Structure 1
Amino acid sequence: MTMDRLGDMRLFTEAATLGSLSAAGRKLGLSPAAASARLIKLEKALLARLFERTTRQLRLTDEGRLYLQHCRIALQAIDDAEAALQAGQNRVRGKVRISATSDFGRHMLRGWLDDFSRLHPDVSFALTLSDSVSNLLQEEIDLAIRFGAPPDSGLAARSLAPNRRVLCASPNYLARKGVPQTPAELTGHHFVVIFTAAGTLNELAFVRGEERYSYTLPVADAWETNDGAIARAWALAGHGIAHQSIWDIAADVRSGALQLILPDWCTHEAPVHALFHANRYMAPRVRVLLDFLIERFETTTGALLGDLAYPPERVRLRQDLSPEL
């Protein structure tokens, strides 16, 4: 395989990722005419059309989707080989492609990455924010931060911190509609509901000691979004009760902007995990970032969450088991 072919593969992969051949060309230092010529040359060599092209859209063909999967694997293998050489030289540099949920990424991880960059200025980031589980086996993601059980796949998972989902609403909303004292009293309330590609997240299973109660949040009149940051903003604005990660709303609860509802009931515990490729060499920049995030989650769990990290029953148990000072 020639170096020209590798360059063509990178151009094709970038064009598929960015949805634009000219944008891919600019990223790789090519003029639009040069990028177009190289793609045409690649298609002729493969005897296959990789894109359906119009003046406004670049869309992969079936052959293009198949070739893209293999290009990403081949190019990643080359990048991994270079990273292995860098590891021997103890250099922490290059780009880390990281994925996180929208609200957590905007309000917490973004600042942490700035802190990491000050320690390692030769590392840059490509941050993807999405509340759906990224398909790391196909996408160019080195590390994903996700709340909940890791998917059953070829991915490795590192537990980072405790997390639970809680019901919350603004004091203004609760003053208008009342504060539910039992799960049954949720009937008649308004809700902010998150939906994903897998479906709407509106099924709640309440647990308190030996008590169990199931409740389905009605969606007919709910405010619905696929973005956790929007759901939090709508809850703050008083549009209804939201079911949010404690990491996303702990500061709002501390400030009084949001109030926990049915705090004695546990609805869903979803520890934070870092997900990464189990069978891929971990570049030094990714390994150092993972170590940094492990430490940052550990310190922030105590500083930000405190007792909010656990259901009240668990907190009382921990206090009972703690030795007297």
Structure 2
Amino acid sequence: MDKFSDMAMFVSIVKHQGLAAAGRDMGLSPATMTARLQALEERYAVKLLNRTTRHIALTDAGELYYQAAMEIIASVNETENRLQNVVEQVKGSLKISAPKDIGKQYILPILSEFSKRYPDVVPYLYLNDRISNIAESGIDIVIRYGELADSSLISRPLSSSWRVLCASPEYLAKRGVPLTPEALVEHDCLVMLRGNEELKTWHFQQQEHKTTMTVAAKRLSDDGEVIRQWALAGAGIALKSIVDVQDDINSGRLVTVLDGYMKNFNTSRSVSSADLNVIYTSKQYQPKRIRLFLDFLFERFNDMTQQ
């Protein structure tokens, strides 16, 4: 048996003033208790108890061992209580990374609402989608588009999505509606930047027919919310996630074009390549604040996108 178990057994013997009573409390037979006590005394080569049929008394060595065991057990119990309190308390940092447009439009208000409910949680919101190694980044939760390559991480779908080409009614009334991908060469296009890369090569698929177009970038930004605002202002056509612009489309502020094509920044043929996912490292020993925020995020995001 381990040393801590032996200490707990010895303290129980002293507490109950006998091996049989202590054994009943611990679910052990008198023979087992006797054998364990003998093994303990043999380990240290000292006598810990003077025993008679009706009474036990601590030897000097037994008194020393008993007091030390009591202190160690109390210390372990205090540590366990503290750890349990840490697990149960909703406090500490909460680090989230999200694309800029999703972060500003959805995650920011959700996180603000969560912070009001749990004021001891300190939120960090990183508005980017360029994290290459989630496990080493120190980020608790990553929200991003696309499929997950690293199978060691947990990925949960936050929202199904797809990409749409959209522009304001005013822009389309002035410049006309493109009916084919090739017609985009005649239009002003609003292009995302990813690092130093200009995402101006747009891929289209209609059944088995695939088309790739390099569009004319009229304006460029690494902020998806800026691209959306430019589109709303009539500056051109944008390739956006439906989640970002659904409200604008529902209200008529933006209109979609080339709806018969699957569109993307890459050549993936998977519809899920544009889905929005929540990614984190592990559910095991996950702090309560993270578990609570994940539940809150899925509930509130669903409410916001269903409105």
1:302 and 1:206, CA in 2 relative to 1: closer, same or farther beyond 3 A?
A: same
In the TM superposition, 1:161-200 aligns within 5 A as: 161-197=159-195, 199-200=197-198
Match of 2:114 among 105, 113, 116: 116
What is the aligned length? 220
Which residue in 1 is equivalent to 2:241?
245
- Write the distance in 2 (CA, Å) between the matches of 1:244 and 1:89: 40
Letter in 2 for 1:282: Q
Q: Identical aligned pairs, as a percentage?
A: 38
Letter in 2 for 1:233: Q
Q: Tell me the TM-score normalized by structure 1.
A: 0.61
* SS of aligned partner of 2:186: coil
- Write the distance in 2 (CA, Å) between the matches of 1:192 and 1:180: 15
* SS of aligned partner of 1:247: helix
- Write the distance in 2 (CA, Å) between the matches of 1:222 and 1:152: 36
Shift of 1:301: 3.7
Which residue in 1 is equivalent to 2:276?
272
- Is 2:221 aligned against 1:225? yes
Shift of 1:222: 2.7
* SS of aligned partner of 2:279: strand
Letter in 1 for 2:171: Y
- Write the distance in 2 (CA, Å) between the matches of 1:200 and 1:254: 29
In the TM superposition, 1:1-325 aligns within 5 A as: 85-86=83-84, 90-133=88-131, 135-152=133-150, 154-197=152-195, 199-208=197-206, 210-219=207-216, 221-268=217-264, 269=271, 270-278=274-282, 281-303=285-307
CA RMSD in angstroms, aligned pairs only: 2.6
The C-alpha deviation readout for 1:69-117, integer Å capped at 9, x for no partner, is xxxxxxxxxxxx99x9246752222110111111111121111112222
* SS of aligned partner of 1:138: helix
* SS of aligned partner of 1:132: coil
Shift of 1:257: 1.5
* SS of aligned partner of 2:88: coil
- Write the distance in 1 (CA, Å) between the matches of 2:293 and 2:283: 18
Asked if structure 2 preserves the Cα contact closer than 8 Å seen for 1:173 and 1:239, the reply is yes
- Write the distance in 2 (CA, Å) between the matches of 1:244 and 1:261: 12
- Write the distance in 2 (CA, Å) between the matches of 1:172 and 1:117: 40
- Write the distance in 1 (CA, Å) between the matches of 2:99 and 2:168: 22
The structure whose Rg is larger is 2
Asked if structure 2 preserves the Cα contact closer than 8 Å seen for 1:253 and 1:259, the reply is yes
1:267 and 1:139, CA in 2 relative to 1: closer, same or farther beyond 3 A?
A: same
